[in-house]
Amino acid sequence: MRKHFLPAVILALLALQSFAQTRIPKGEIVDHVQSAYDPKQTHALYVPSSYTPEKTWPILFCYDARGRGHIPAELFREGAERLGWIIFSSNHSRSDDPHFSNLEVLNAMWSDAHKWFSLDERRIYATGFSGGARLAWGMGYIYPKSTAGVIGVGAGTHAERPPSKDTTFVWYGMCGKLDFNYLEIRNLDDQLHSLGVPSRTDFYEGPHNWPPDGTYCSRAMDWMELQAMKRDRRPKDPAWLQQQFDSRLEQAKKQEASNVFDAFLKYREMQEDFTGLLNTADLSKKVIELSDSDVVKKSLDDRRKREESEQKLLDKYYKILTQLRNAPEIPSFRSVKSDLEISKLQKEEKENGNSPEGMMYTRLIESISVQLSFYLPQYLLEKKDFDRAIVSLQLAADIHDDDPWVWFNMAIAQVQKGNKKKALENLQMAVDRGLKNRKWIDEEKSFDVLKDDQQFQQLIAKIPVPEKS
């Protein structure tokens, strides 16, 4: 016994020493902790009040699309304190930047976390927003034995790692009802279910962003705890399970009085989640009863038709955007706007309001907008196809004239084309519309040719210099 006991004591002492050396207070978020692996990086950390290195703990690695580590740390804080999870959130993760690799972010976080804390190697979790969600998904394949679950916010899989029956982790997807990746989240949930991979989705009001508060994140963490019990990654806790069951059952019963379809979905999720853990016979009866109701049948059919229609329109618009990118002659602003039916979509959005149909039209507009304002110009500028990039951004500005990032990207396109005057005008419009992050201007190499320009200096002087992370 001594041969096994001594190393465990040594490891515990080393963990205690490492934790003390980091000087990380328990029970509060620390926004900037310097990496030991890479001093140029920092992490936002949260260590639960109950932490002690004498036992092992779950950890949640967080990847924001713009390296805003404090955002997920705050959103997951309540659940982490209640359930006893460590939060380890990068201030350097990036999304959709072809010149930036997140590999060193992964390496730094993995190394620092294992050096500083006593971790449960079978209960490591990852979350991220947008491209950060795809990074979190990829982490599950890099560390398949350790990654128990991935919480994807606003996006699903990594392009090089499609889901399969061999996917070893469970997945919880979240996004706004107006998110342009809404269909991706819905379709991935269906795909994982068909593969026998446990998954769950949750949708909140709003566009492509982190959830509005920590309630959604706490639900995701509770679901991960439940899955850990089902998969024997942690001991079953009968009292906790019963509390979760009773709370969710009460919510479903209240929902049934006002919205039978939403109640049916909640009952069905409960049946799936608690089967094998608690007696779900009554739930099964309820699910069968409601699934036979005309209201539920119609709602399921309406949702299916709406999503099929949305996908069909998306496919149509993406073909048009591909033509804008690849056509031998640059299509005109007017012709592309007409082909994309932007005015028609905006009219339908306004007339349908906050209904499911209205939200569908909003998502379609946002899907077109993000392609025109970001992905397409990014590709075209890489190819030095400046005129085509400008047409794309003009179309984006026609949809969202108030978006500072559209005008910021327009300034990049104009300065790369050699039109400094237009670039300054567009940059001014970006500032007038709320561009407040000086870091993006300072890091944009295209603006180096403007740095000695007096108008440029006066312009950026109005924008505060960001704090160093």
Residue-wise pLDDT for 33-75, tens only, equals 999 999 999 999 999 999 999 999 999 999 999 999 999 999 9
The answer to whether residue 357 scores a pLDDT higher than 70 is yes
Question: Which region holds residue 419: left if phi is over 0, alpha if psi is between -120 and 50, else beta?
Answer: beta
Report the chain's mean pLDDT, rounded to a whole number: 92
Between strands 170-176 and 147-153, the pairing is parallel
Q: Could you state, in order of their start, the residue ranges of all structural domains in the chain?
A: 2-235, 303-381, 401-469
Query: What dihedral do alpha carbons 352, 353, 354, 356 form, nearest 10°?
Result: 10
Work out whether the CA dihedral 161, 164, 168, 170 comes out positive or negative: positive
Q: Estimate to the nearest angstrom the gap between the alpha carbon of 126 and the chain centroid.
A: 11
Dist CA 118 CA 205 (whole Å): 37
Per-residue confidence (pLDDT) for residue 213, from 0 to 100: 96
**For range 423-440, the mean pLDDT:** 90
Dist CA 187 CA 203 (whole Å): 14
Per-residue confidence (pLDDT) for residue 32, from 0 to 100: 95
Per-residue confidence (pLDDT) for residue 335, from 0 to 100: 96
Q: Which of 271, 245, 268, 244 is nearest to 256 (CA)?
A: 268
CATH number for the 2-235 domain, one of 3.40.50.920, 3.40.50.1820, 3.30.450.40, 3.50.50.60? Answer: 3.40.50.1820
Dist CA 172 CA 269 (whole Å): 13
The answer to whether residue 22 scores a pLDDT higher than 60 is no
Instruction: Report the percentage of the chain scoring pLDDT > 90.
Output: 87
Q: Estimate to the nearest angstrom the gap between the alpha carbon of 98 and the chain centroid.
A: 18
- What is the value of pTM for the model shown? 0.91
Per-residue confidence (pLDDT) for residue 436, from 0 to 100: 81
Map tokens 């460590």 to a residue. 86
> For 69-83, 260-274, 435-449, which range has the lowest pLDDT when averaged over its residues?
435-449
Per-residue confidence (pLDDT) for residue 18, from 0 to 100: 53
**For range 237-245, the mean pLDDT:** 97
The answer to whether residue 5 scores a pLDDT higher than 50 is no
| DSSP state letter for 200 | E
The answer to whether residue 337 scores a pLDDT higher than 90 is yes
Q: CB within 8 A of 142, min separation 6: which ones?
A: 106
Burial of 85 (0-12, 13-18, 19+ CB in 10 A): buried
Between strands 119-129 and 199-204, the pairing is unpaired
Tell me which amino acid residue 154 is. G
Per-residue confidence (pLDDT) for residue 98, from 0 to 100: 64
